Every structure is written in C-alpha cells, then in structure tokens.
Amino acid sequence: MSEKIPEGWKRVKLGEVIEIITGGTPKTSVPEYWNGDIPWLSITDFNNGRKYCYNAEKKITEKGLKESTTNILKKGQIIISARGTVGVISMLGRDMAFNQSCYGINAKAGLTFNDFIYYLLKFNIPHFISNSYGAVFDTITKQTFEQIIIKLPPLPEQKAIASVLSSLDDKIDLLHRQNQTLEKMAETLFRKWFIEDAKDDWEEVSLGNSELSTIINSGIDKFEGEKIYLATGDVQDTNITGGIKITYENRPSRANMQPVKFSVWFAKKGGVRKLLMFDDYSDINKYILSTGFSGLKTNELSHYYIWCFILTKEFQEIKDSFVSGSVQPDITNEGIKQITILRPDDQTLINFNKIMKPLFYKCQQNKLQIRTLENLRDTLLPKLMSGEVRVKCEV
C-alpha cells in the first residue's frame, strides 16, 4: 500500500461505495416461471465487450421472479460475472433479472455513480480475477469483492473521467445499433425480393456448387511477416472481437483458411452463428481463418445475395439440420452442397447489389470506426483510472 495516489484521491474498499445485489435462478422444473416478459441475464448475454446490454436470451415471468431469489436490476445499474469467467461486465440498457453467477452493482449515492463505477470495475478486472478461486471454476465471493481496495478520485474528477469514456462508448453503441438497423434493412429487402416476390422460373441451385458460390478448400499460401489468425471464438455474430498474430512458420494447425475477395464464411459447428464476409473493400491479406469456418467463394454478381442468405435465420436452421457427427456436430462440405438456393436473374441481382454494396460498405466503415474508438477507450481507461492522465474538471 505504499504506492502513491494522486492528490485528493482516496483509497476505499469497494463495499464502501457500492451495494451488491445477488441474482438467482427460478426453478427450471416449474414451467410457469419461464418464457415470460422479464429478460433473465446469463453471462453469455453480455460477454461481448460492449458497455450496454439491452436483452437476454431467456425470459422469466413475474411469478418466477417473485418466487425465486432472483432480483431485478434496474436500467443503468451494472452486472459483473463472479463465477467461471470472472469480470465480464456490462451496464443495463433496461430492467432485467439475472442468475447467481453474477453480481448486480449499484453505486452508493453521494460518493460515486454507476457510470464511473462501470469504468472503475473494468479497470480493476485483473484484481477480481486474481482474487477468485475454486476447485471447479473460479469464483469471487461477495465478501472478497467488497474488500477490494480501489483508488477513488473526488466526485468532480469522477464525473470528468466518466464523461470522457462514456462519450466514446456512447458513440460505439450508436454505431453498433446503426449496423443492426442496416443489417435488418438488408434482410427485409432480401426477404421481399427473393422469398416473397421470387419468380417461378428461378432455378434451385446448390449453395456449395453453382455459378453463384463454390466451397473454398483449406490451404494457404506461404506468407512473409505476421497475419491475424481468427478462430471461431474470435468472431461474435458478424463482428471480429479477437484474433492472434501468427507467422507462416509458427501458426496453429487449424490456421489454414485463406479469405479471398468476394467470399462468405460461417462456423461449421451446429447451433453456432459466426459469420464473416470479405468484399472488395475488405483487407483480405490481413487475416488467416480457422478450419472451423466453411468458406464460400462468391462473385461480384452473387456476393451480397449469398451474404444476405447466410445472415438469415433460415440458413442457420438449414445448416443445423445438416450437421453430422456424434461428438463434434459440424456441417460437412457434402451438407453445404445439399443446401439449395434460388438462382435469381442477373438483372435482379444487379439491382440488389446497387442497394447492398453501399449499405454493407457503411456497415464495414462503422466496424472500423468501432475498433478505433475501442482502442482509444482501452488506452485511456487505465491512464485515467490510475491518475496518470488527469482531465480538467468543470468547477
């Protein structure tokens, strides 16, 4: 405790400035507790690195909430995982319930506020991880959590710090939501043109083997220097969220797929939705993909049509129905060839591209901007929280 802290800052225990709300699970054996209107958060619902969390996969009923130990966490309060992968954190975009592997956090008024606490906790995640233990999976107990000592700036400086970081996160959130809207628009148009208004004379062709798309085989060319290896775990939905640097000589055995211009990729594993697309705006030379992905080579005419198809729920369902293998349920190349898709006329595809190309270009630009803003935020966060960089406070 000899480390110096900035003047005016205080060392306090986390428990002094926050209140911890515990979660719980309604009995799974009681059907009337489930499928209600109240989103019920699990770690997987917010383990995406984003600040705000708006929904949960599972939902419980009023009754389920009342008759279990589950509490409601309010919009603007914070959730942090305390078991398993400790330290996954998010701020609630609406009221939700949550399970017992997480703690709900609410700032004590007058001392601090949730927006600042969110960043403070994020900064202290290594602390939480090192204070976790357990035979089967790591756990940080409520007590340990409360005892962790943090460095707390005076309230005006807290406000200034939170304001800087929030402005970045709010912009990131806006871009994410804009992309969701763009993808939704693309899907709507795809459905209208190629499902509802499909022409009778459009033939059914194989997704894996037609003039629209063909399966990409594994194998990469020798390359100099470093590239980024993307395993399926490095992709969430349609976003790249991870990746490691590799060289040709020193790379995992599965780093054996080469993205090419006009290609569409999806995780082979059943039930998993991880999708990537490379068009003429993409930096194909930067990445090597895992053989956990299947790739389709598309072309200038078919690219956005195939991509929009891959994005649909229906493709996910069809893919899952073709999955084989008892232990590792993957779709095989044979399966991909058996999936059929309509072959629209060229003019319809050309018209579709005219709309989709700028739309997905915007989407991609947004993703780039998101990564830039995230980098900036991640660089600033530790500097601001340690007091290494100070922000001017409004008086």
Of 3-11, 154-162, 290-298, 307-315, the segment contacting DNA by CB under 7 A is 290-298
Question: What single letter denotes the amino acid at residue 139?
Answer: T
With CB under 7 A as the contact rule, which of the stretches 141-149, 175-183, 194-202, 365-373 interacts with DNA? 141-149
CB of 331 or CB of 381, closer to DNA:
331
The residue from 63, 171, 191, 254 that contacts DNA (CB under 7 A) is 254
Q: Which of 282, 291, 316, 386 binds DNA (CB under 7 A)?
A: 291
Residue in 232, 298, 302, 366 binding DNA, rule: CB under 7 A: 232
Cα–Cα distance measured from residue 335 to residue 322, given in angstroms and rounded to the nearest whole number: 6
141 or 348: whose CB is closer to DNA?
141
Q: Is residue 213 part of the contact set for DNA (CB under 7 A)?
A: no
Count of chain residues binding DNA (CB under 7 A)? 52
Of positions 169, 292, 311, 360, contacts DNA by CB under 7 A: 292
Q: Which of 50, 83, 122, 319 binds DNA (CB under 7 A)?
A: 83
Rank residues 17 and 216 by Cβ distance to DNA and give the closer one.
216
- Is residue 50 close enough to count as binding DNA by CB under 7 A? no
Give whichever of 77 and 290 is closer to DNA, judged by the CB atom: 290
Hey, which residues between 63 and 82 contact DNA (CB under 7 A)? Answer: 69, 81
Residues 91-130 interacting with DNA (rule: CB under 7 A): 99-101
How many angstroms separate the CA atoms of 140 and 53, rounded?
A: 22
Mask for 314-343, x = binds DNA (CB under 7 A): ----------xxxxx-x-xxx---------
Long-range CB contacts (within 8 A, 24+) of 246-250: 246/288, 248/220, 248/222, 248/223, 248/224
Note whether 250 binds DNA by CB under 7 A. Answer: no
Residue 33 Cβ vs DNA, minimum distance, rounded to whole Å = 10
43 binds DNA (CB under 7 A): yes
Which candidate, 236, 233, 238, 263, places its Cα nearest to that of 184?
Answer: 238
User: Minimum CB separation from DNA for residue 153, in Å?
Assistant: 28
Contact by Cβ (8 Å): 251, 288: yes
Give the residue with the Cβ less far from DNA, 184 or 245. Answer: 245
Distance separating alpha carbons of residues 24 and 38, to the nearest angstrom: 14
Q: Residue 269, interface with DNA (CB under 7 A)?
A: yes
- Position among 85, 206, 338, 353 found at the interface with DNA (CB under 7 A): 85
**For residue 251, how many C-alpha atoms fall within 13 Å in the half-sphere facing its CB?**
29
**Which residue, 142 or 383, is less far from DNA as judged by CB?**
142
Q: Binding segment for DNA among 3-11, 21-29, 176-184, 338-346 (CB under 7 A)?
A: 21-29
What is the per-residue binding string for DNA in 155-174, x denoting contact by CB under 7 A? --------------------
Applying CB under 7 A, among 2, 28, 250, 347 the residue interacting with DNA is 28
What values do phi and psi take at 353, rounded to 5? Answer: -60, -35
Using the minimum distance from each CB to DNA, give the nearer residue, 158 or 214. Answer: 214
Site membership for DNA, residue 219 (CB under 7 A): yes
Residue numbers at the binding site for DNA (CB under 7 A): 22, 25, 27-29, 42-44, 47, 58, 69, 81, 83-85, 99-101, 134-137, 139, 141-143, 217-219, 231-234, 252-254, 267, 269, 271-272, 290-292, 324-328, 330, 332-334
